[in-house]
Structure 1
Amino acid sequence: MMSYKDTLLFIAKCLTITLEEKNRKEIEKQLKTNNIDWDAVVKLSTGHYVFPALYCNLKRVNFLKYLPTDLVEYMIYFTDLNRERNTEIIAQAKEINELLLENKITPVFIKGTGNLLEGLYEDIAERMLGDIDLILNKRDAKKADKILRDNKYSSNSVVPDNFRHLPRLTKLNKIAAIEIHTDLLIEEYRDEFNYVLIEKDVQKINHAHVMGFESQLALSILANQINNDHFKYKDIFLRNAYDVFVLSKKTNTKTAFNKFNKLKHPLNCFLAICFEVFNKPKSLEYNDTLKVTKHLNTFNKKLNNPTLRKTINQGIEGKIRFSIIYKSLFDKEIRTWLIKRITDKQWQKEKLIQLGLKT
């Protein structure tokens, strides 16, 4: 049996073997021992949304020969499905791009959608994603929302006022929902990282507009660390970490965050975690401080202690939920959003599935 830590580090190193020779040699040596808990690897890599990326990296360096045949067959099947899905998502994103450009609106595609459109990965199957994300200024966002609705997109979702994106839009027979963002982060950090800032280094690649590589690197970290509270958890999500690793080959991580103040610390903390988990690749070097070292030490303690990991995560989740409920007692907007949220049929269905009460 491999521990959570052993499994995480094994998968992480596998994700780098196309580009990191040292890790490639170490992984091949480990694979030859025939002592890998593949059930644990599949469970963790699928939970972190990197199962196709794991397969693609192992295939590129001819390491599939060390894996069980039935596992390879499953990996091929799963990755082919994801490639087909991403092919449809790319086509849908291109349609949206053309539609909005025709109406004098220039969408900037972000997150996984932007990565796929710009050709960040050797194989489009590597990245798992759900929605098509794009960002616009507030004026153009409202216009784009209307244009898409006029083209048979609709929405049943609810978001609070001043949320990062407008309600998700879906269309019959289209594979992905659309999220039109007006902001990138929660309110506390919008003065540092926003549309005005990213607009300055937008680049056009393959006929689509995407963020500059420094901004992509920052958002790949902050989308989970700040928006999803993983900075408080002192945790890592390998899908985002893999994006960070690939992007680190296109920009200087030690200088990429110099323009930030409040965000510089959480950005460096995540880089430090990635640096350790991916086995110290040079491209992920970070600016070390005492606070970053302390953050990294806590991450390592959690990694080595499953009880501590569970206790910290449950405590933070409880605080977050209590904070929202408490604020709703005094803030009408939050109260209205919370009521709409918990009475939303789709949200209820998602929670039942998460709890294993519904398939």
Structure 2
Amino acid sequence: MTRRHTYYLIARTLALDLHPERAGEIVKNLPEKETHWQLLVKTGSDNMILPSFFLALQRHHLLKHLPADLQQYLQYVFELNNERNLSVIRQAGEVRDLLKSENITCLFMKGTGNILDGLYAHTGERMVYDLDVLVPEDKMLTAAQLMEGQGYHTQKKFNPRALESTMHYPILLREDHVAGVEIHRMPVQYLYRKSFHSQTIFENAVESKSEKGFLLMNYSHRIIHNFLHAQLMHSGHYSARVSLRDLYDLLLLSRKEDPMEVFASFGHYQGKSIAWLKLMHKVFGLEMPAHLSRNRRGNFFLRRHERVMRMNDWQLKWQLIIIMAIQKYVVLPARVLWNRQARNYVFSRLLDPAWYGRHIKAMGRMIRRKP
């Protein structure tokens, strides 16, 4: 059994709500050796999808086919994540109320927003690292100061020279709270700002359905944000390495609104968004709509993804390092020539003496990291 096999096994399990008749096939493909079970758990953990995997098995009465100790472990991970997410919801309420006290409108994005909206089958299903909070562009610093006044702190000092190209304030932490908070002035990096602007998001925002009183992106904007974040900002389209957590979010959102229509209306990055949709259908074993399968765009990305799925850990590690090096040391310097925000991004760092040490340490950690 390979990493590729476990990746697709987890994905097909997550899609059982759409194809419950495939439960027997899932059971047939479950691991037999202990080392294969360990690989499955590692794949699920790497993709931050173990709670969703556990719940899918539970809903379709398949947990009995797992070793008893693995059942207990998955139950433990799920309960731990559920407890954490309940704390995240309470923390989100505190952040909202604090900003509201100073008349700052805030909107919750990504996993936290989806949890607040009840997108998942259970509160404990989605794993989140931090709260992504969008505020009006001119309110980011005020909002951050409010948070710091309530005991939050950053591990990295904010560089005011970089404001023009800054997407969010350095992550704010508080020892007695489970999650960090990112105060965003833009929902995406400066490169994608013109096609996905804060003002449009706020104008079309909706109130959460599960936890009342929270402002969220509408479904169309969440689908677009999912694509921009996973495929462009995190280089998924270039590396062809895709997190199941991001794909699963897209799958759930696609049951609320047709992503093909959303991307057609969006009108940007058509080839890359088609590739993203094709990958979702392929990974979860869904029948691809005729108009999507007839479109030749995205097919090369699918072949690259398949090649990446067959790479070993060392190949994956060096692929990531090479792509990152090209983006940071070739593409970004070239972009400085024509993009004002890119110039701000680069020169604000070069003029910050503390940046050099942080950058060297970050590169060292990446190179030393075990595959």
Q: TM-score, normalised by structure 1?
A: 0.87
Indicate how the Cα distance of structure 1 residues 27 and 179 shifts in structure 2: closer, same or farther if over 3 A, else same: same
Deviation sequence 1:165-203 (CA, Å, 0-9, x none): 112212231111110111122222211012122223211
Q: Which moved more, 1:255-264 or 1:308-317?
A: 308-317
**Pairing 1:275–2:278 present:** no
Give 1:11 shift: 1.0
Aligned pair count? Answer: 353
Q: Which residue of 2 aligns with 1:173?
A: 176
* Matched position secondary structure for 1:226: helix
Q: Which one of the candidate residues 241, 249, 253 is aligned to 1:243?
A: 249
Give 1:344 shift: 4.3
Q: Which residue of 1 aligns with 2:340?
A: none
Q: Which residue of 2 aligns with 1:317?
A: 324
Q: Which residue of 1 aligns with 2:70?
A: 71
Q: Which one of the candidate residues 193, 201, 221 is aligned to 2:204?
A: 201
Paired letter, 1:56: L
Q: Which one of the candidate residues 336, 340, 348 is aligned to 1:333?
A: 348
Indicate how the Cα distance of structure 1 residues 105 and 65 shifts in structure 2: closer, same or farther if over 3 A, else same: same
* Matched position secondary structure for 2:308: helix
Is contact 1:248–1:283 with CA below 8 Å preserved after alignment? no
Is contact 1:230–1:236 with CA below 8 Å preserved after alignment? yes
Q: Which one of the candidate residues 198, 208, 217 is aligned to 1:211?
A: 217
* Matched position secondary structure for 2:29: helix
Superposition pairs of residues 1-359 of structure 1, within 5 angstroms: 2-31=1-30, 34=32, 37-158=36-157, 160-161=162-163, 162-205=165-208, 206-280=212-286, 286=292, 289-304=295-310, 306=312, 312-323=319-330, 331-336=346-351, 340-344=354-358, 348=361, 352=365, 355=368
Give 1:283 shift: 8.9
In 2, distance between residues paired with 1:144 and 1:308? 42
Q: Which moved more, 1:84-93 or 1:33-42?
A: 33-42
Cα root mean square deviation, aligned: 3.1
Indicate how the Cα distance of structure 1 residues 284 and 140 shifts in structure 2: closer, same or farther if over 3 A, else same: farther
Deviation sequence 1:20-51 (CA, Å, 0-9, x none): 324434313434x8578211111111011111
In 1, distance between residues paired with 2:325 and 2:362? 21
In 2, distance between residues paired with 1:243 and 1:336? 39
Indicate how the Cα distance of structure 1 residues 286 and 86 shifts in structure 2: closer, same or farther if over 3 A, else same: farther
Paired letter, 1:215: H
Indicate how the Cα distance of structure 1 residues 119 and 350 shifts in structure 2: closer, same or farther if over 3 A, else same: farther
Give 1:318 shift: 3.0
Give 1:119 shift: 1.3
Q: Which moved more, 1:82-91 or 1:296-305?
A: 296-305
Q: Which residue of 1 aligns with 2:339?
A: none
What percentage of residue pairs aligned between the two structures are identical?
24
Q: Which moved more, 1:296-305 or 1:235-244?
A: 296-305
Q: TM-score, normalised by structure 2?
A: 0.85
Is contact 2:237–2:301 with CA below 8 Å preserved after alignment? no
Unaligned runs of 5+ in 2: 337-342
In 2, distance between residues paired with 1:277 and 1:120? 20
* Matched position secondary structure for 1:109: strand
Is contact 2:20–2:60 with CA below 8 Å preserved after alignment? no
In 1, distance between residues paired with 2:362 and 2:323? 24
